[in-house]
Structures are given as C-alpha cells and as structure tokens.
C-alpha cells in the first residue's frame, strides 16, 4: 500500500471512528501534505513506506526547523507535530513503524494564550438586535438569532450546533461531541423559544433534516457562520476576535465569573480533561485582578 493510501485510511479512521471535526481533519491533512513535501525535498524523491520506517529523530527536527524557517508559529508547529504523531500511531497500530524516533521529539513550547470572551453587555445587546443585516429575509434573521443564542446559552462548539437535527430539539438535547463523547445539553427557555420562532417561518421542511440551513436549504456550514461574523464585527461594534468559538469562551467565562464551579463548567463544555477547563479560572483571576487594581484605596492614591 502506498503512503497516500495509508494517510487517507488514517484520516478516515479519525473521521468515522474517532469523530474528529471537519476543521481538524482539514488541518491534519494539510499538516501531512506539508510533511510529505518536506520529505520529498529532504530525500530528493517521493517518500515511500521504507522512507517513513527509516526516519530518525534528526529528520523530524529538520522538518520542524523547516517549518520555522517558513514562518510557521509555535502553535501551528505543535498542532502539526500532533498530526504526524497521530499518523505514526496509526502506522504503529498496523505494525508498520517504530515510534521511538518520533516520540523523542518534544512539542514546541507555547505561550499561554487566554481565550477572549465577548463582554457580557456587548453579547446580550448583540443577541437582542432587531436585525443583523438589513437586507436579510426575516427567517434568516431568526435563524441567526437562534444560532447565536444557542451558542451562548450552551457553550456548544459550532459544529456541534450545526449537527443538531430538528427532530431532536427539546429542552434537553443529546450532543455528539469530540472523540465520540456524548453529553446532554439543557436549553434555556429563551434559546428554545428563538429556535421555535425560526422553525415556524423557515421556508424549508426541517422535520427530518438539520436544524440550521442556508439560503438554499442545505446544511449551514461553520465557515459560512464565521464569514458572516467577520462582517458583523464592523456593523455592530463587536470585538475583532469575535467568532463562533468566542460565544463558547464567553459562555464558560461568564459562568465562572457568576460563581459556577469548575467541574460543572467542564461537563457543560464537554471537556474530557479538567485541565482544558482550568484556563477559564485564569481569565476569572485576571478579571478579579483588574477589579482589585481599580478599586483598592491605595491604588487610587
């Protein structure tokens, strides 16, 4: 079997068995192609299975150095290394490679980047806008209001929200999350009401289809949502980092600031590890520090 076929089988496994998102699959595919192109230059020819089997730690380090020389960030390199390690784990599972060389390659150090939530008042005012775009049909406005409200009320990932089927909409929804991890999400009455208002005037029959559809009645895509939010930043004074994922960050941050415990937020977000959720405690600590700095009597003296 040629290398390209093995790579496709690996990606298929991540998609069908491990339920990786479309965005992750696309990123991993690009990372593999980048790695393959490097090997072609490094060895002056198309890499074979034997090439892969003979790779040394120095070859992997040379690849990362090559990426750095092409202005790839540490975060991008860390993800690329994770992708290639995942591919090699797949090969090892099929008794095709030894993992010793690649496992000795250390992950690039990352600076701590805190998620950026949208201000509570800003996000509430945005969700209550009469119109997002003046020329949109009413059903599109209601769809977008329902979607944005759902994201903020539940902390869903955008693809989790877009994969909801209309027949499954209730006060509780079973969500199929990353890594085949299912969880139950509770809908606040306002989210459920706005979804029902959207369904009531949507020109398409959604009963046996996805809840959120585009102008032609096909499933709404995450890329479409983020492209729309890029335009809405300018129209409605949203921060320049506002995206579908920032609704999730805002959900978690605002809950923590209101006193929610870490374990509960972990369950609501669908994080497998508590360490993934702990970053929101850093945000909350930061906000408390800013309050402290602006209110302490000595700070004003």
**Catalytic residue list:** 157, 178, 245, 248, 271, 280
User: H-type helices in 94-212, by residue range?
Assistant: 100-103, 120-127, 138-154, 158-162, 189-201
Note the helical H segments in 138-278: 138-154, 158-162, 189-201, 222-236, 244-257, 262-269, 274-277
Contacts 24+ apart (CB under 8 A), 146-151: 146/191, 146/194, 146/195, 146/197, 146/198, 146/212, 147/212, 147/220, 147/225, 148/247, 149/190, 149/191, 149/194, 150/187, 150/191, 150/194, 150/195, 151/244, 151/247, 151/248, 151/251
Tell me the two tokens of residue 28.
């991993």
Closest by CA to 114, choosing from 290, 230, 285, is 285
Distance CA 264, CA 246 (A): 19
CA dist 231 and 244 (Å) reads: 13
Q: 280 Cβ partners below 8 Å, 6+ apart?
A: 115, 249, 252, 253, 256, 262, 265
């Amino acid at each position: 079997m040629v290398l390209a076929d093995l790579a496709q089988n690996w990606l298929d496994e991540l998609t069908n068995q491990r339920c990786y998102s479309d965005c992750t699959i696309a990123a991993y595919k690009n990372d593999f192609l980048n790695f393959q192109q490097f090997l072609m230059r490094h060895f002056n020819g198309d890499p074979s299975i034997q090439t892969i089997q003979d790779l040394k730690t120095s070859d992997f380090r040379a690849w990362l150095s090559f990426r750095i020389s092409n202005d790839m960030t540490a975060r991008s390199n860390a993800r690329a290394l994770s992708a290639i390690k995942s591919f090699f784990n797949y090969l090892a599972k099929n008794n095709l490679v030894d993992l010793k060389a690649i496992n000795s390659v250390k992950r690039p150090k990352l600076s701590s980047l805190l998620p950026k939530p949208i201000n509570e008042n800003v996000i509430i005012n945005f969700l209550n806008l009469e119109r997002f775009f003046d020329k949109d049909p009413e059903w599109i406005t209601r769809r977008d209001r329902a979607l944005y409200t759902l994201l903020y009320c539940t902390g869903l990932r955008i693809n989790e929200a877009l994969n909801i089927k209309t027949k499954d909409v209730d006060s509780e929804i079973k969500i199929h999350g990353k890594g085949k991890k299912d969880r139950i999400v509770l809908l606040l009455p306002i989210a459920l009401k706005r979804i029902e208002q959207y369904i009531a005037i949507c020109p398409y029959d959604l009963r046996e289809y996805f809840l959120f559809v585009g102008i032609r009645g096909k499933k709404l895509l995450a890329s479409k949502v983020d492209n729309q939010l890029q335009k809405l930043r300018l129209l409605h004074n949203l921060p320049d980092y506002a995206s579908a994922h920032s609704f999730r960050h805002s959900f978690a941050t605002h809950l923590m600031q209101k006193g929610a415990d870490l374990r509960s937020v972990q369950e609501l977000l669908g994080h497998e590890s508590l360490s993934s959720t702990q970053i929101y405690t850093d945000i909350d600590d930061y906000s408390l520090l800013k309050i402290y700095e602006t209110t302490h009597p000595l700070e004003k003296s």
